[in-house]
Structure 1
Amino acid sequence: VYKFWDEAFDNMENKSKIYVHVRSTNIGIFVNRYEYSEKEIKYVYHNSSEYTVENIIEALDKNIPVYFVGNSEALRLVFKTEQIGKTYYWDRYNETLKLFKVIEPIVNIEISYSSDK
């Protein structure tokens, strides 16, 4: 698990944000704080009020690189993403760990038509 987080932070850009929703979040916190603090990566936990789609879009609008680990099924419905690095499996919690970079929001267009006839 440590190898996953080390590679993840090594692959992330300076001054980016990472949104995290996995059981190994404490290991990610440690690696970010004590081994990659010079990169100034903002770590957002899943139970934080900052963990919202709106905040991710706002960061992208400000050209802040955004990444996430966990909750990938939900977030990949809203954002175009790219997996960065290797996939790791943590058998202790039956958890698959993948780092994704958010490329852009997925745009959904709804067209409605009404006629007076």
Structure 2
Amino acid sequence: MTDAIRRADARRTETPNAVMITLASPTQGNSGLALWQVEMEAGKTGPDHTFDVEQIWTWLSGSATVSVDARPIDVRDGDTLVIPAEVPRRVHTDAGFTAIVAAAAGARASTPGGGDPVLPPWIA
């Protein structure tokens, strides 16, 4: 049975660098994919990290520089970035942005020297 996931029911996860709003995931809609919105304020930089699955990011508003395998890529509203699995990435924004991200359910993130990979709550 298919049910709508209402915006009011979307799970919100805040980190020091951004807010992730889970739109669909295994625990929210019983999906085999995870779909979430990222809202990052101006002047913020996320951590260096990798994911064990490919991710697709689409910018809805604002702009950012995403370092993918140490290569800076400037993106802005309307752009889509496909980031391969296991490739180091880091997101920085001077202006702030909102993006939608999709990845396989159960994706795990790792940081350099950060120990075992973890399942972020916005993907669970």
Give the TM-score normalised by structure 2.
Answer: 0.29
Give the TM-score normalised by structure 1.
Answer: 0.30
Give the structure with the higher percent helix.
Answer: 1
Rg comparison, structure with higher value: 1
Give the structure with the higher percent strand.
Answer: 2
